[in-house]
Structures are given as C-alpha cells and as structure tokens.
Amino acid sequence: MLILNIGQIATPTGKKAKKGLEMKELTLLSNAYIQIENGIIQQIGSMKELSSDFSGYQGQILDAGNQCAVPGFVDSHTHFVFGGYRAEEFIRRLEGASYMEIMNMGGGIMSTVRATREESAKELFLSGENRLNQMMKQGVTTVEGKSGYGLDLVTELKQLRVMKELDQKHPIDVISTFMGAHALSPDFKDKEEAYIKYLAEEVLPVVTQEALAEYCDIFCEEGVFSLEASAKMLLAGKKAGLHPRIHADEIVTFGGAELAVRIGAVSADHLLMISDEGIRQMAESDTVATLLPGTAFSLNKPYAPARKMIDAGCAVALASDLNPGSCFSYSIALLFALAAIQMKMTPEEALTAMTLNGAAALERAERIGSIEVGKQADICLLRFPDYRFLVYHTATNIVDKVIKKGMLIYDDKTGKIQ
C-alpha cells in the first residue's frame, strides 16, 4: 500500500517506552507519503521526493487527502470480554453508593462473574467481537483483554479461549492477561491464601499449557487482595512464564506501585492514589505507569497524578479500562480529553501515552506504537491535518481510516469494517 498526500505524520519514535520529558518529543513530517509492504512500513518521505507517476505501482494507493496520520492506538488495559451489564449499579453510584460498598454487598465484579459464568462462549465471542469493532472505529489496532469474570477454572478458561479466538478472527490484535485474582472467588470465602494457591496450582498450569495468556494481573487493593497475596500470585505467574502487571493504588494508597517495581512488573495500572515514594520508584524502573482516566471520570474520583509522574521521569501510558462496572467506555477521544484537560498532559505526551508507551506496556514497542520504517503498519488517519485536534475536538472521535498491518480495516466514509 502507498498512502499519499498525508497532511502531517505525527509520531513518537523509538523501540522502547518514552520516559518523563521524552514523552513530548514527537516527530512531525508534513505533506508526506508512507509506503508499506507485507504489512511493514518500508519508506516514509515528503511528497516532493516522490515521482508523480504511480502507474507502475502494484499495490493499493490510498489518497489521504491532507489528513493527519498517527500510529494506531494501543489500548493496553481492558476487560472487554464479559457477560451481562450493570446499569443499575451505575445509577446507585450516581445516587451516592461507592464502588467498594456495592462490591462488598455482592454486586460489582461478582455480579459480572455470575453473568459471565452463565453465558456461552459463543455469546461472549459475539459481544466481544462487537466491542472490538467499536474500538477499531476509534483507531485502536491492538488491545489487551483480561480474564477475571470467572474466578473458577471453567469460566476463566472460557474467557481466555474466547479472546484467543477473537485474536485469530478479528483484525485487531488481542493480547490476553490471566486475571483469576480479580476478586476473591465466592467458592473461597475468607480464604485468600487458599484461593491464590488454587489459581497457581490448578488454573495457571492449564492457562500456560494452552498458551492462553501472556500476562498475569491481580487487583491489589485494600479489601480485595493483600500485598502478600499479590506478590505470591504474580510470582507464581512469572514462574509459569506469564509476565506480571498489576491493578495498583486505585482506591487507597496501598504500596501497589512499589510492589510492581519490586517484582519487575511490566506495568502498574490505575495509580490514582500512588504515593510519592511509589512515583520515585516507578521513575527509576522499567515499569510503565498505565493511567486509566476514564475510570476516575466514571467513578468521579481524583485523577492519577500524571503531571507529577511525568515530571518525575515515569513512562506513562493511557488505556481505557473498558469493563462493565467502573468504566463502561472504550472512548479513546474521551481519554485524550481527560488527559489534556484534567491531567495536564500535553497533546504530545497524550499521543505518546496512547501509542508507543501503550505498546511498551505490552512489550511490543519494537514492532508497533510508532510510524517508522521497519515497524508494523498500524496507522490511523484523522479527519483533520493536525494531531492536536485529538485533544482540541473535545471527546469527539476524529478517526477517519484505520490501517492494520498495511490493510485498510475501517473507513468512516463507508462505515465498512475490513
């Protein structure tokens, strides 16, 4: 494929996460072209350097009509495969109930666990596919998805197998995380240690044997899983070959960020309540700080201290946290708005966070996350010639075309997928 007349290419560059001040260094090229072969970017240049005769060109020619090209977005934290919905609970929260109150009364995650246990793999596949289609329309080309709405062997495997099938059948790449430790299973009431042991000894081996996940995650939080249990679970996962990531310091300051650094987690996520010491340690580590402002917005909580973290030298990524409870939104446009307006990230930092740093949070920064020669051609064309419209056109999806591995998979003009 040859993409011509690109108004502006706006991209971070490099093969690893950008930390601190580096996050705002974008490479910009106006009036440009991108040439792709076998799904890989072969050439990037100015239209002026290109001969105007394309008659001999074998591949597909796409006229970008002065649109801006940015890397495909990487949504590195979602729970997109789940059964049922929790609209009532959302309204109860609007009326004053807290997320943890609802969870402690048997609602919250447990409500989705009941629904997910009941649904067939086919039903979960269809709703998951639908959500992937919606995400794709917003420019997402790679998505991470977690299990954790089963909390038993059968349903955890069902969720992970559905994600594996979606990865194979849908143009978006799906990367799976085993999160059996999303909440204490009702079958193990008050028996945290026994539940972790069950997950480590009876569920993990099947997950790894079937190659159903790359990562292991846990909800490390007061009243959910303790620091000790979290360390145990993630180390068991690591031993079985699953790289650790963690839900940390979301509701209270708990030391989750420090634990993430100590065990070498790929990413620590949420971090609304991260301590200053946690920020300092994250900045010195290779652990990506994945911030999920859609969740803070939906729960009406203070945002993670993104500015402080970037100024301290952390690598910050942004992700949606799409799930049926704390954040039923996959809006990438909302993330850009919240990052810029509420978290004081610059448009450049937000773009890096949504692309290269998201890729780094999934250990794929060598292959995706930027528009550079040698990288996979995952590209979004925006309806405007300037990447800053991502924040300026507030909470509005401005993605016009999505290219995955050099193929046009979504075109807003026709609404056609693939």
How far apart are CB 325 and ligand NIG at their closest, in Å?
2
Q: How far is the CB of 228 from ligand NIG (least distance, A)?
A: 19
Distance CA 361, CA 206 (A): 25
Tell me the C-alpha distance between 116 and 379, whole Å: 33
For tokens 């993670």, what's the residue? 304
Nearer residue to Fe ion within complex by CB, 217 or 258: 217
The DSSP code for 188 is: G
DSSP 8-state secondary structure symbol assigned to residue 48: G
Enumerate residues 250-289 that contact ligand NIG by CB under 6 A.
250
Q: Of ligand NIG, Fe ion, none, which one does residue 324 interact with (CB within 5 to 8 Å by kind)? A: ligand NIG
Task: Give the C-alpha separation, 210 to 187, whole Å.
Answer: 24
Question: Binding of Fe ion at residue 75 (CB under 5 A)?
Answer: no
Number of Cα atoms under 13 Å in the Cβ half of residue 228 = 4
CB 283 within 8 A of CB 305: no
Distance CA 125, CA 265 (A): 29
* DSSP annotation of 55: T
Q: Where are the beta strands (DSSP E) in 193-277?
A: 215-218, 243-248, 267-270
Residue 385 and residue 407: Cα distance in Å, rounded?
21
Q: Establish if 12 lies at the interface with ligand NIG (CB under 6 A).
A: no
Q: Does 144 bind Fe ion (CB under 5 A)?
A: no
Which DSSP string do the residues of 294-346 spell out, in sequence order?
HHHHHHT-PPP-HHHHHHHT--EEE-----SSS-----HHHHHHIIIIIS---
Q: Which stretch binds ligand NIG (CB under 6 A): 46-54, 162-170, 318-326, 348-356?
A: 318-326
For residue 2, give the amino acid letter.
Answer: L
- CB-nearer residue toward ligand NIG: 109 or 306: 109
249: contact with Fe ion by CB under 5 A: no
Buried b (16+ CB within 10 A) or exposed e, 326-354: bbeebbbbbbbbbbbeebebbbbbbbbbb
By CB under 6 A, the count of residues binding ligand NIG is 13
> Of the candidates 144, 249, 250, 321, which one interacts with Fe ion according to CB under 5 A?
321
Does residue 321 touch ligand NIG according to CB under 6 A? yes
Near ligand NIG by CB under 6 A: residue from 12, 71, 72, 108:
108
Residues 294-313, mask of contacts with ligand NIG (x by CB under 6 A) = -x------------------
End-to-end CA distance of the chain: 15
Element containing residue 206 per DSSP (H, E): helix 204-209
The one segment of 51-59, 255-263, 309-317, 322-330 that binds ligand NIG by CB under 6 A:
322-330
Closest CB to Fe ion among residues 199, 377 = 199
Among 17-25, 278-286, 298-306, 318-326, the segment contacting Fe ion (CB under 5 A): 318-326
Q: Which residues pair with 248 in a beta bridge?
A: 270
Nearer to Fe ion, 258 or 321 (CB): 321
247 binds ligand NIG (CB under 6 A): yes
Question: Pick from 109, 162, 319, 354: which binds ligand NIG (CB under 6 A)?
Answer: 109
Cβ distance to ligand NIG smaller for residue 321 or 348? 321
**Minimum distance from residue 155 beta carbon to Fe ion (Å):** 18
Site size toward Fe ion (CB under 5 A) is 1
d(Cα 75, Cα 145) in Å, to the nearest integer?
9
Residue 112 contact, options ligand NIG, Fe ion, none, Cβ 5-8 Å cut-off depending on partner type: ligand NIG
**Contacting residues toward ligand NIG, per CB under 6 A:** 79, 108-109, 112, 219, 247, 250, 295, 321, 323-326
**Contacting residues toward Fe ion, per CB under 5 A:** 321
